[in-house]
Amino acid sequence: MFALLNSTQRQAASLRVALIGKNTNSVTIAEDVVLSPKIGSVIEEVRAIGREIEIVWDDGVVLRTKLQIRGSWQIFRMAEWQKKNRGIAKVVIQVEGCIAACFGIAEIETHHDFDPRRHPLLGRHGPDLSDSRTDLELCVDLMLSYQDADATIAEVLLDQRVMRGIGNVFRCELLWTCELHPWAKVSSLNRDECRELVSIAAELLQSQHATQDRTLAVYGRHGKNCQRCNGQVRVTHHGEANRVLYWCADCQTRHAGTSSSRYVTEHDTPPGVHPAEFIYLSELERARKSG
């Protein structure tokens, strides 16, 4: 069955197993890039598109590598890596227990994984919620006047023009904390509810340094029991950028009735299946259909 996948898809499948959900210990990129993945941020997705592999971090930074014919991503254990000639790797990502290195790349690029319409360079940045001096009322105003009334609250939390400082891990945790349905339309929240959400986000972000070791309620806990209601934590993909989203369908029910139909749970990962495995099986299924 593995043979049904092309070489890029197979490499992406191995990278998913090695990297997804891990904290980044170091990243070395041999060429100048506009954005560098942050040390400590969580690797969230690995995508295969033609001969390109994209690695996506929790804060939305995407590393795109276009592979040459003999180019490849390879995974090494630390001991194996010591023996390897490291000089020729163009990208080296170190996470706990292993190293992913890329050889023979035609193009390397980094960018922010947001809908181009929402690219931070195209509009003014919203308030930074991790800054204690930030204007929370401005953020509330930006939410209430959001131009796309059908947009979901989960999408708006990552829109840099409305607020900054929220990475994807934090987004999932915040929605859970506020018991908000991730698909709730942003236009269904009134001023008090927007203010509550923004205030809780700012408070949590600003105290994050003191609570870095806190355990996560939903992120990465697919198939496990919700700490609040004992329901099952689910994972899906959501929004224009198709970011991974963990949530509890049993207790995150506020504004559930207003759910935007744009991104229904068509990609919902079945319970008991690891997200990386689900993507792998989906790619196999597509390869089988097209072959």
Any alpha helices (H) in the chain, and if so which ranges?
7-19, 78-83, 136-144, 153-156, 168-177, 191-206, 275-290
* Token code pair at residue 231: 């329901």
- Residue with the two structure tokens 């930006």: 142
* Token code pair at residue 114: 């947001």
- The nearer residue to Zn ion, 217 or 284, going by C-beta atoms, is 217
- 174 phi, psi to nearest 5 deg: -65, -45
Considering only 195, 228, 267, 274, the residue that binds Zn ion (CB under 5 A) is 228
Shortest Å, Cβ 249 to Zn ion: 8
Residue 127: strand, helix, or coil: coil
Considering only 52, 141, 196, 250, the residue that binds Zn ion (CB under 5 A) is 250
Alpha-carbon gap, residue 19 to 45, rounded angstroms: 8
**Residue 226 in the binding site for Zn ion (CB under 5 A):** yes
Segment 251 to 280, residues that bind Zn ion, using CB under 5 A: 251
Of the candidate spans 108-116, 117-125, 127-135, 247-255, the one that interacts with Zn ion by CB under 5 A turns out to be 247-255
Alpha-carbon gap, residue 227 to 221, rounded angstroms: 11
Of the candidate spans 36-44, 59-67, 219-227, 278-286, the one that interacts with Zn ion by CB under 5 A turns out to be 219-227
Shortest Å, Cβ 277 to Zn ion: 23
- The nearer residue to Zn ion, 187 or 227, going by C-beta atoms, is 227
- Residue with the two structure tokens 């204007």: 135
* Token code pair at residue 108: 């390397």
- The nearer residue to Zn ion, 142 or 226, going by C-beta atoms, is 226
**Residues 102 and 65: beta-carbon distance below 8 Å:** yes
Of the candidate spans 14-22, 65-73, 104-112, 220-228, the one that interacts with Zn ion by CB under 5 A turns out to be 220-228
**Residue 101 in the binding site for Zn ion (CB under 5 A):** no
Binding site for Zn ion (CB under 5 A): 226, 228-229, 231, 248, 250-251
